[in-house]
Amino acid sequence: MCLAIPGKVIEVFEDRGLRMARVDFVGTVRKVCLEHLAEAGPGDYVLVHVGFALSRVDPEEAERTYQFLAELGQLDELQAPETT
Amino acid sequence: MKYLDEYRDGRVAAKVLAEIRRVTRRPWTLMEVCGGQTHSIVKHGVDRLLPTEIELVHGPGCPVCVTPLEQIDKAHVIAASPGVIFTSFGDMLRVPGSRTDLLRLKSEGADIRIVYAPVDAVRIAQENPDRQVVFFAIGFETTAPANALAVARAKALGVSNFTVLVSQVLVPPAMTAVLQSPGNRVQGFLGPGHVCTVMGYAEYEPIAAHYGVPIVITGFEPIDLLDGVLRTVRLLEAGAARVENQYSRVVSRAGNTAARRLMWSAFEVCDRKWRGVGTIPKSGLRLRWEFREYDAERRFQVGALETCEPAVCISGQILRGLKKPHDCPAFGTACTPASPLGATMVSAEGACAAYYTYGRFQESVTTHPVTTP
């Protein structure tokens, strides 16, 4: 129910006083309400739930989390005995 | 798909798992709060990868599951009324009430329509001015702003043939109810990532401090979930009861203040009954007085309905983390997703439905001993 998926903002437009966007979810484009996410614009990834953009995906935080996890255990590998 | 695929990378998962095994010294019971997390955990088998010392129990965070029978029965009475177009998220159509479900009513001729976004129901109302259009506004804090938007739009555009049947619930009071329940086993939480995109996580800090439980706000992909477990176990092993944010790519401590302003413009806190659990004080939302003309319960005088819940169902204990689906004699026999008997089988995000869908008919036998370095 609380399913929310990231999509890329293609364009922003106005619909009777609401700030809306067309958002691309890997080929499927849907109209999304962007009114409550002032910081997001074209090119940004936003997290969308039932046609409502909840938050902008922070690319730096996403990269930082992923890199941190991907590098887990590398220090252990460094401590392994060297083979000649 | 960007921001999804990288969080499903098996090599990274193996590294996080190795780290979980390295840091785990004692047995711990963690609860993932959100039904979306439960579904992802069971689908990807995340729980079966963990060391046997770590048990995941499944929380009450499935709004479809916990919508009380009274509200479902009311929905059915309203949907069957002449001149009504009843709109709902697709998840609610198969949920059984005391006597029927929305899908069956639709097959009997009721005008029941699935909408993707709540504001779509307002458009249906505009297109059908001679009909009464009702939207079944269920959900947690994640959905509350979108539901509030529909009501606010109807008011702004002067759409008077639109009302909402509200069954909105809140996560923190449910977590508190779990922690206060006799026999509680939960020692740490994977917090609800998408709820926190709206609410932020400051309101979880007093819960962590008061009950001495770590809460790690966690995403929904397998690596997010494993990272959430790792962080929670680290905090537990260190004896630290605080809130951490695993899902920082979309969640901030402050959350989305604009969305919250919208939500509080239409809704206020009230006591709510949870299916399978009972009434939890201040655990839900109702329309504010200024929006009373959009309240379907005022427009349709449904009155008190006599509800009927199967006695065999143990969903209340499952929702509080006290039991697992295979502890129920009806699981997979009398009770299946096609003919569910109770809360946790009615939605794909319910623990019973997830166990059934992914073939978990027996107690899991995991063989992942903790390795000590």
Domain assignments of chain B as residue spans, ordered by start? 1-312, 315-357
Residue in B327, B322, B293 with CA at minimum distance from that of residue B312:
B327
Q: List CB contacts (< 8 A) between B40 and chain A.
A: none
Task: Supply the mean pLDDT for chain B.
Answer: 92
Type of residue found at B193 = G
Are the beta carbons of A51 and B119 separated by less than 8 Å?
Answer: yes
C-alpha to C-alpha distance for B282 and B261, rounded to whole angstroms: 19
Q: How far is CA B338 from the centre of its chain?
A: 20
CB hemisphere CA count around A6 (13 angstroms): 22
Superfamily of domain B1-312, CATH level 4: HypD, alpha/beta domain 2 (3.40.50.11740)
How far does the CA of residue B14 sit from the closest CA of chain A (Å)?
10
CA closest to B15 among chain A residues: A72
Under 8 Å between Cβ of A41 and A35: no
pLDDT for residue B370: 46
- In sequence order, the 6+-apart residues with CB closer than 8 A to the CB of A36 are A52, A53, B145, B256, B258, B259, B262
Tokens 């397998």 correspond to B222
CB contact under 8 A, A8 and B2: yes
Name the minimum distance, in Å, from the CA of B62 to any CA of chain A: 7
Q: What's the burial of B305, exposed, middle or buried (CB within 10 Å: 0-12/13-18/19+)?
A: middle
pLDDT at A78 over 60: no
- Cβ contact, residue pair B149, A55, below 8 Å: no
The CA distance from A73 to the nearest CA of chain B, in Å, is: 6
Q: Do A51 and B146 touch (CB under 8 A)?
A: yes
Whether B249 and A57 lie within 8 Å, measured CB to CB:
yes
Q: Do B143 and A61 touch (CB under 8 A)?
A: no
pLDDT band at B322 (very low <50, low <70, confident <90, very high): confident
Identity of the residue in A38, A58, A69 whose CB atom sits nearest the CB atom of B258: A38
Strand, helix or coil for residue A24 = strand
* pLDDT per residue as tens digits for the range A17-68: 899 999 998 889 999 999 999 999 999 999 999 999 999 999 888 887 778 7
Contacts of B4 in chain A (CB under 8 A): 5-6
Q: What is the pLDDT of residues B58-107, one digit of tens each?
A: 999 999 889 999 999 999 999 999 999 999 999 899 888 888 999 999 99
B366 falls in which pLDDT band (50, 70, 90)? very low
Min Cα separation B209/chain A (Å):
26
Measured between CB atoms, which of B18, B35, B153 is closest to A1?
B35
Residues A34, A22 contacting (CB under 8 angstroms)? no
Least Cα separation, residue A82 to chain B (angstroms): 18
| CB-CB neighbors (< 8 A) of B250 in chain A | 6, 47, 54-58
The CATH number of the domain covering residues in A5-79: 2.30.30.140
Chain B residues within 8 A of A50 when measuring between CB atoms: 89, 116-118, 143, 146
3-class SS letters over B145-213: HHHHHHHHHHHHCCCCCEEEEEEEECHHHHHHHHHHCCCCCCCEEEEEHHHHHHHCCHHHHHHHHHHCC
Find the distance separating the first CA and the last CA of chain A, reported in whole Å. Answer: 55
Query: Contact, B64 vs B274, CB < 8 A?
Result: no
ipTM given for this complex: 0.91
A8–B195: do the CB atoms touch at under 8 Å?
no
Partner residue opposite A65 with nearest CB, options B117, B248, B349? B248
Cross-chain residue pair A54–B145, CB shorter than 8 Å: yes
Of B3, B18, B117, the CB nearest to A73: B18
CA distance B74 to B48: 40
Q: Cβ contact (<8 Å) for A2 and B157?
A: no
Residue B61, C-beta contacts closer than 8 angstroms, at least 6 positions apart: A2, B32, B33, B34, B35, B36, B37, B38, B140, B171, B174, B192, B195
User: What is the per-residue pLDDT for B372?
Assistant: 42
For the record, the structure tokens of B247 come out as: 């899902």
Confidence of residue B2 (pLDDT cuts 50, 70, 90): confident
Choose the closest CB to B119 out of A33, A45, A49.
A33
Chain A, nearest residue to B2 by Cα: A6
- Give B256 to chain A, closest Cα distance, Å: 7
Kind and range of the H or E element at B280? strand B278-287
Chain A positions touching chain B (beta carbons under 8 Å):
1-6, 8, 16-18, 25-26, 30, 33, 35-38, 45, 47, 49-52, 54-59, 61-62, 64-66, 69-70, 72-73
Q: Which residues contact B13 (CB under 8 A, 6 or more apart)?
A: B49, B222, B223, B226
Per residue in B269-310, pLDDT (tens digit) is 999 999 888 899 999 999 999 999 999 999 998 877 888 778
Cross-chain Cβ contact A50/B89 below 8 Å = yes
Give pLDDT tens digits for B201-228: 999 999 999 999 999 999 999 999 999 9
Domain ranges of chain A: 5-79
Closest by CA to B223, choosing from A12, A66, A15, is A66
Q: How far is B148 from chain A (nearest CA, A)?
A: 11
